[in-house]
Amino acid sequence: MGFVFSAFTLAYGLFEIPTGWWGDRVGTRRVLARIVTWWSVFTMLTGAALGYGSLLAIRFLFGVGEAGAWPNVARTFSRWFPMEERGTAQGIFFMGAHLAGGLTPLLITALLVHFDWRWLFVLIGSVGFVWAIGWFRWFRDEPEQHPTVNREELAHIEAGRAPAQSHQFSRAQWRQLFSSRSVYGLCGMYLTQTYGFYFYITWLPSYLRAARGFSSYTLAILAGLPLTVSVIADLIGGLTTDRLTRRAGIWIGRVAVGGGSLAVAGVFMIAGTAAPNGIAAAMLISIAGAFSNFLLGSAWATCSDIAGNHAGVLSATMNTAGQVGGFLSPIVAAFLLQKWGSWSIPLYVTGGLYLAGAACWLLVDPRRPVFDV
């Protein structure tokens, strides 16, 4: 099962940078419509899996098509929002993503009473087609192309963003990307954040069942609790990074928020693992997950801040590093569980990685652009 979980993440990571670069070149209107259509198709096809081989292949192809979604969102925000509003925009975006993820276990548990599990994938997958059509009809790549954007709004947006330029990406720019200390810091911290996130969405229900003895609706509620609590953290984190950026400068607004979030997440994860009471453990671990997501507004806004016209490529690079963590997380957790026979070890490792990710933020300087142009 660890390999099934990781097949998606492997493909997602491999195609993340190419799809982020594609969005920089042709615009996110077309790329995001294609991505959501693709993942809707493969969500539905998941219900047609006949065994391990077909499930592995579907999950891999699912990852191929979904890759680049979040970098293209970051690219969209970099064109439609001035710098001091991007963290809030990212926070609202992730709030929507985590709200859906937190409600999903409850929704699926309720729908399984009325639908076969295979048809559930068809039902859930069909929603994306509606979004893709609406997005393509309504959205425009640049604010000045949209008929409802007035002069005052356009002036406000343009005052706080990089001017539109050619989206060619030269060898010199690749060298700048991979020689930037800030990029390495962002990649390191996001690897640890995503490692933890994938534990939450893969093995956490098994941990709560096997190690803490929860079942039925209690298990469904607690399994979705980290993402549900993250809804609040996403929004407040986005608002906080923008407010501190305006009041105390961009370093405090981005780095202090990001690094502090992961440090607190590490402490709560370790405390939750050690807690003897099951409910207390689930609550502390959920708070850890929320704090690990508190940084998302600052992390993705930093990519837009320092990337100029190449937000898609830079944010895709950060997210590719994250997918390395996401790929390793289910496999490493299963290996540690088999080797040591204890669910505590994978959770302690996750908490330790959060603390290491907090230190990675010290390498990030959001005041210095990565690219010359």
Contacts 24+ apart (CB under 8 A), 34-37: 34/65, 35/65, 35/66, 35/67, 35/68, 35/69, 35/72, 36/69, 36/128, 36/131, 36/132, 36/135, 37/128, 37/129, 37/132
Count the Cβ atoms, other than its own, within 10 Å of residue 139.
Answer: 17
Domain ranges of the chain: 2-158+177-363
Tally of residues, the chain: 373
* CA 317/CA 20 separation, integer angstroms: 9
User: What per-residue confidence (pLDDT) applies to 160?
Assistant: 66
C-alpha–C-alpha distance, residues 33 and 145, integer Å: 18
**C-beta neighbour count of 161 within 10 angstroms:** 21
Label each residue of 50-97 as H, E or C. Answer: CCHHHHHHHHHHHHHHHCCHHHHHHHHHHHHCCHHHHHHHHHHHHHHH
d(CA 150, CA 38): 34
Transcribe 200-221 into DSSP letters.
HHHTHHHHHHHTT---HHHHHH
Going by C-alpha positions, the residue among 224, 298, 301, 313 that lies closest to residue 259 is 298
243-252 contacts at long range (C-beta below 8 A, 24 or more positions apart): 245/83, 245/84, 245/87, 246/84, 250/83, 250/305, 250/366, 250/367, 251/365, 251/366, 251/367
Q: Which amino acid is at 81?
A: F
pLDDT in tens, 1-24: 778 877 888 898 889 889 988 888
DSSP category for residue 146: S
Q: Quote the longest CA-to-CA distance of the chain.
A: 63
Could you tell me which CATH class the domain 2-158+177-363 is placed in?
mainly alpha
Q: What sign does the dihedral 141-145-149-155 (CA atoms) show?
A: positive
Given a cut of 50, the residues of the chain with pLDDT beneath it are: none
Residue 274: which residues within 8 A CB-CB, separation 6 or more?
Answer: 344
110-126 CB burial, b ≥16 within 10 A, e <16? eeeeeeeeeebbbebbe
